[in-house]
Amino acid sequence: MRLHRAISSDLPLLVVALEEESTHLHVTELPVLVTGVGKVNAGVAVATILGEFSPARVINLGTAGALRDGVSGT
């Protein structure tokens, strides 16, 4: 888990799994939380942050899924 910028109660918190997903988000003043891959990592990271801070809202960004032959859809 890594937090970029300070969390403020008047700004949304952007949440992504990977640093690569946050690359273009650093041009804003918004705080960015990088959780690591997986539901458990995401849940623990967001719960930890919400236990300490009160962002205006939490916005989850990024991708999900796997690249495998024969698998398609959502």
Cα–Cα distances (Å) from 74 to 11, 36, 65, 66, 71, in that order, read: 31, 21, 8, 11, 9
Tokens 């809202």 belong to 57
Tens-level pLDDT at each residue, the chain (74 residues): 999 999 999 999 999 999 998 988 988 899 999 999 888 999 999 999 999 999 999 999 987 666 677 766 65
CA angle at residue 3 from 39 to 20, to 5 degrees?
A: 70
Name the pTM for this structure: 0.83
